[in-house]
Structures are given as structure tokens and as C-alpha cells.
Amino acid sequence: MNKLVAALSLVIILTVLALAAVDLHPLGNPAHTEMDTYFLNNAQTELGANSVVAAIVFDYRGFDTLGEATVLFTAVTGVLMVFWGRVK
Amino acid sequence: MLVYITVALLIAFGLYAIMFKKNLIKIVIGINLIEAGVNLFLISLGYIQGGYAPIYTLAPEGLWKNMVLPTPQALTLTSIVIGLATTALMLSFVIMIYKNYKTVSSKEVGRLLSD
Amino acid sequence: MMSRIVRDVSRLTFPLFAMFGFYLVAHGHLTPGGGFQGGAIIASSIAMIMVAYGIYGLKEKLLSISELAGLFSFLILVYFGSHFAHSAVEEWFKLPVVGPNAGHLISAGVIPLMSIAVGFEVACGISIIVIAMRKGD
């Protein structure tokens, strides 16, 4: 019974995903490109970085990267706690 | 459209592994499959027909006016690193579960915990 | 401790892997790559030398301290970059011409410094994870 419900929900999720995949707008022409056009046009004159992805990761969205580094540090701390932490 | 169908299949396989498998390592592999599908979806949303990578170093003439959107790539980079961190944490939990209960089956662990 | 062949090959190829990782970290603002990918490659070279030679003699306390140093230097650089970048490190801003160019290594302000800090942190963090998983408790 439990397994039947799981299988049914999996089939429903797969159907919805397949319908969404057929219905999405075609690959190759995204809908909104204003922000990315700004980044592509101004990354060199504002920051001097040739790689626009590096400019976004480290400057335009620098606080995102700070949070990401914090997440990695927290994961390392968690692994160390799991392996070498004292119980008492 | 083939890319979107691949994304749907990856997410479906990951959900199947999470729902029906009892082995904890297979569940971790399923979570990683879902993550790969989401990353592929993000990257494919930013693709432009015949686009070039958004890097100006030695870009060929004529192609550099038509560049792929850079923001989905940057956020996918973030997502990949966070996925690596969570995978390491989950695998270390599985290792400790195996050391304490001598099994990696979620059913067995639940039975051992209940009594 | 693995066999002689594995030890010799890993000892000979370790500088190449580490050099490739440092190249990716240092050229993060010019080419594909950056702090995260280069740090992962440096960590994989450390993992390779660890598989070949065993884990005795690796100082995990030093690695965790340097990971913390990488995170805090990145924090300081974020603050620095968001407040003083355009005035204090003006000589670092050798702006390239707009459009395709060959690129210059010393350019782009604080972006290479942040990339180096992140690469430091990622390399030390993944090395610590691999060492902890290998050693057990």
C-alpha cells in the first residue's frame, strides 16, 4: 500500500515534469536578458575582468560567494565534528 | 526540448532512488542525480543559439557579440560547491551510521532505533 | 602505503597537478576557472599523494587553521572590495580595452585576490574532509 502510493506519486511527478519539458519555451532564446546584457556590456569597463562569470561571482554577487564560502566552512566543521568530536 | 526531457528524466531517477531504495549510499546518489538535473536546467536556461562563452580573452571575431548569459553559470557554480559540501556531510553521516549500527540500510537503522 | 609504481608515478605527477591548480586560481579573471575549481584540483593532488604515501605526517591542525585564514581573508577582501576598491587600489585597475583582447595578469582589482583567498579555503577544506574520512575516528 505504501509502495503503491509512492509509485503513483512518482508517476504523477514524472508526468508533470514531462509536460513542463514539452511546454517550455524552446532552447536557445531566453525570455529576459536585460540584466545579463548589462553585465556583458559593463563588466570590462567597470571592473576590468575579462571573464564575466568571475566578475559576477566575485564582485556583482560577492556576498553570495561569501555565503557560499561560509557554507563550505560549516560543512567542513560538521564533518570534523562527526568524525573527531567528543561525545561528552 | 531534448535537454528539458533529460532534466525531467534525471530528476525522476533521483526521486526513484530516494523513494524506493533502502541503501543509504544509493539515496545519497539519488540526491546528487536531482542536483545534476537542476544544474543542467539552470545552464540550459541561459543558453543562446550559437552563443560563445562569456569570456573576452582571445574571443574570436564575429562571435563575441553573441554571448551566453553569464548569471546562470555563476549561480550554477555556487550550487555545485554547496552540493559538494552537503554530499560530504551526508557521506560522513552514513559512515558514522555504519560504524555504530553495522548496516547502511535505512529500514534496519529504523528497526534498531525503535527498540 | 601503496606499491612502488604508484608511489613513483604520484610523486612525479604531483607537481604538474598542483601547478595546474595554481594556474587556474591565479588566472581566474582571465580564463575559465577560478578559486573553486583550482582549489578542488589542488585538493585532489593532495588526495593523490595521500593515497600513495599514507596519511602519516600530514598536519590537519595546520590545514584547518589555514582554511580559517582563507575564509577571513576573503571576508576582509569583500569588505575592502565593496568600500575602497576603486580608490585605494587604482594601480591594480589596468583596464583592458573593450572587446576581445589578450588579457593582462595584473588587472581587475580585487577579483584575483578574492579568487586566491577562495582557492586557499577550498583546497584546505576538501583536504581536511578527505583526511577525516580516511582516518576515521
Q: Given this model, what pLDDT does residue C92 score?
A: 59
Answer whether A72 sits within 8 Å of B81, measured CB to CB. yes
Q: Is the ipTM of this complex over 0.90?
A: no
C-alpha cell at C121: 579555503
Subunit contact C100:B95, Cβ cutoff 8 A: no
Q: Is the dihedral of CA A40, A42, A46, A50 positive or negative?
A: positive
Pick from B2, B92, B94 the residue to mutate for testing the A interface (most A CBs within 10 Å): B92
* Closest of B78, B72, B67, B83 to residue B40, by C-alpha: B72
Q: Which of B64, B89, B106 to mutate to test the interface with A (most CBs of A within 10 A)?
A: B89
Percent share of chain A, pLDDT over 90: 1
Cα C121 → chain centroid:
7
The answer to whether the CB of C38 falls within 8 A of the CB of C27 is no
Q: Which residue of A has its CA nearest to B89?
A: A79
C-alpha cell at C130: 578527505
Q: Which residue from B45, B54, B95 is facing A30, i.e. has the nearest CB?
A: B45
Determine whether the interchain pair A66/C31 forms a contact, defined as Cβ–Cβ distance below 8 Å. no
pLDDT at C90: 55
Task: For chain C, say whether B91 makes contact (Cβ under 8 Å).
Answer: yes
CA distances from C93 to B54, B68, C23 (A): 20, 26, 21
Q: Which of B57, B77, B81 sits opposite C31 (nearest CB)?
A: B57
Asked if A59's CB is within 8 angstroms of C111's CB, the reply is yes
Domain that holds residue C10: 4-135
pLDDT band per the 50, 70, 90 thresholds, residue C88: very low
Q: Which helix (H) or strand (E) holds A81?
A: helix A62-84
What pLDDT score was predicted for residue C59?
72
> What is the average pLDDT across A26-44?
81
Written as nine digits, the cell of B21 is 531504495
CB-neighbour burial class of residue B16 (10 A; exposed 0-12, middle 13-18, buried 19+):
middle
DSSP class of residue A50?
S
Identify the residue with better confidence: C90 or C24. Answer: C24
**Looking at residue C54, what is its pLDDT?**
80
How far is Cα B85 from Cα B41, in angstroms, rounded to an integer? Answer: 21
Q: How would residue C85 be classed by pLDDT, with cut points 50, 70 and 90?
A: low
Whole-number Å distance between alpha carbons of A79 and B89: 6
Per the model's pLDDT, the better-predicted residue between C64 and A77 turns out to be: A77
User: Residue C137: its pLDDT value, please?
Assistant: 66
What pLDDT tens digit does each residue of chain B (115 aa) get?
788 888 888 998 998 898 888 899 999 999 999 999 999 998 888 888 888 888 887 777 777 778 888 888 888 988 998 998 899 999 988 988 888 888 888 888 888 888 7
pLDDT (tens digit, 9 = 90+) per residue, A44-69? 777 777 888 888 888 788 788 888 88
Q: Contact B92/C132, CB-based, under 8 Å?
A: yes
User: Which of C29, C36, C74 has the most B C-beta neighbours within 10 Å, making it the best mutation to test the interface with B?
Assistant: C36
Q: How far is C81 from chain B (nearest CA, A)?
A: 19
Question: Smallest Cβ distance to A76: which of C75, C101, C128?
Answer: C128
Instruction: Quickly tell me which residue has 564533518 as its cell.
Output: A79
Query: What is the rounded distance in angstroms from the CA atom of residue C102 to the CA atom of residue A47?
Result: 16
**pLDDT tens, position by position, C35-53:** 888 989 998 998 888 888 8
* Candidate from A39-43, B58-62, C33-37, C76-80 with smallest mean pLDDT: C76-80
Number of domain units in chain C:
1
Q: How far apart are CA C31 and CA C135, in angstroms?
A: 36
Tell me whether residue A19 is exposed, middle or buried, using C-beta atoms within 10 angstroms of its C-beta: 0 to 12, 13 to 18, 19 or more: exposed
Q: Tell me which chain C residues have a C-beta less than 8 angstroms from the C-beta of A70.
A: 71
pLDDT at C50: 85
Q: Which chains share 3+ C-beta pairs under 8 angstroms with A? A: B, C
Q: Which residues of C touch A69 (CB under 8 A)?
A: 71, 74, 118, 121
Residue C126 in contact with residue C37, Cβ under 8 Å?
A: no
Beta bridge partners of B52: B67
Banded pLDDT at C112 (limits 50, 70, 90): confident
Please report the domains of chain B, with CATH numbers, ordered by start residue.
2-114 (1.10.287.3510)
